[in-house]
């Protein structure tokens, strides 16, 4: 599946979750609900995926990505009032570490679902 179409399907599932639950829950609640919606949509979902950060052949850090969808899209879930630049930088760092091209930052904590589609390589808006 093409990455753009895949991200649209993921966003659709996230919107379904946000419409049903609204803001106010913990990230873990949204993660479980989104996992359920993505599986219903027939997408391959890996939750809490460990990722190693390599430098010069050495592991210099590790993190856990909230979700990896169809082996190609990282999804990071937040439940905060509003997204901050640090959240976006975190996503770009995840993409750099994995070598994946596209990630979605989804914030369920605002009145409306906040979505940021981030790319590993720079793209002009």
pLDDT band at residue 31, thresholds of 50, 70 and 90? Answer: very high
- Alpha-helical segments (H) within the chain: 3-21, 27-40, 85-98
The domains of the chain are located at 3-119
Q: Among 90, 62, 86, which Cα is nearest to 76's? A: 90
Domain 3-119 CATH (choose: 3.90.550, 3.90.1570, 2.40.128, 2.40.160): 3.90.1570
As a whole number, mean pLDDT of residues 68-77 equals 95
As a whole number, mean pLDDT of residues 81-92 equals 93
Instruction: Give the pLDDT score at 124.
Output: 67
Confidence (pTM): 0.92
Instruction: Give the pLDDT score at 2.
Output: 87
pLDDT band at residue 3, thresholds of 50, 70 and 90? Answer: confident
Q: Is-contact 6 70, C-beta < 8 A?
A: yes
pLDDT exceeds cutoff 60 at 9: yes
Instruction: Give the pLDDT score at 121.
Output: 83
pLDDT exceeds cutoff 90 at 125: no
As a whole number, mean pLDDT of residues 61-77 equals 94
Instruction: Give the pLDDT score at 123.
Output: 66
And the tokens for 54? 């390599």
């Amino acid at each position: 599946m093409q990455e753009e179409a895949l991200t649209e399907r993921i966003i659709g599932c996230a919107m379904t979750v946000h419409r049903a639950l609204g803001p106010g829950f913990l990230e873990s609640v949204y993660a479980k609900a989104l996992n359920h919606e993505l599986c219903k949509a027939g997408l391959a979902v890996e939750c809490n995926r460990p990722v190693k950060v390599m430098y010069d052949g050495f592991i210099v850090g590790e993190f856990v990505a909230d979700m990896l969808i169809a082996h190609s899209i990282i999804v990071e879930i937040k439940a905060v009032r509003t997204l901050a630049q640090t959240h976006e930088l975190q996503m770009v760092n995840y993409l750099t570490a994995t070598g994946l091209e596209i990630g979605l930052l989804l914030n369920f904590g605002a009145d409306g679902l906040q979505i940021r589609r981030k790319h590993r390589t720079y793209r002009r808006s």
